[in-house]
Amino acid sequence: MREFQFNERLLARWRESTTEIVVSFTRREDDRDLDPSPLLANWPDPKPGPMGRSGFRRQASSQGPPLAAVPFTEPVALGSDEIRGGIRFLKDQAACPFQGFAAHRLRGDILPPWRLPFDAHARGLLLHAMLERVWNALRVY
């Protein structure tokens, strides 16, 4: 209940600070129809239609100077150091930008993967022994 009241106050402050607020919600989940949040119950039009592309253009054009038209030119060709890896490059970059950069740009994938010399059981025993020493040293229980 406290979260609902907080969010209600937050939405009220947003409504007071602007002339237009665009909200969205999922209309369907699997085969069920969904309603908007109860927070939108007191809004003038609680079930607005889709915004469409023209609404986005209007919103973009009303927020600053017009965009400059950039003439199309031929794409820049990659040099001899082109990036290899195909879809793996994109997956690695999305999962962790640094690791994607290291593997594909810095060629870090040339090195063999580093492995611990212990199996999972030995690692568990080692971790248990280390934590036991930490707790004994700190005397915190």
User: Could you list the pLDDT tens digit for every one of the 141 residues in the chain?
Assistant: 789 899 889 988 988 898 877 777 787 888 888 888 888 877 766 555 665 555 666 666 666 777 778 788 877 776 666 656 678 888 888 998 888 888 887 877 666 777 778 888 998 999 999 999 999 888 865
Q: Where are the domains of the chain?
A: 2-61
Element (H, E) at 128: helix 120-138
Q: CA-to-CA distance for 82 and 67, rounded, in angstroms?
A: 32
Comparing CA positions, the residue from 16, 14, 19 lying closest to residue 59 is 19
SS3 15: helix
Closest CA to 36 of 116, 59, 44: 44
Q: What is the pTM of this model?
A: 0.33
Handedness of CA 112, 118, 124, 128 (dihedral sign): negative
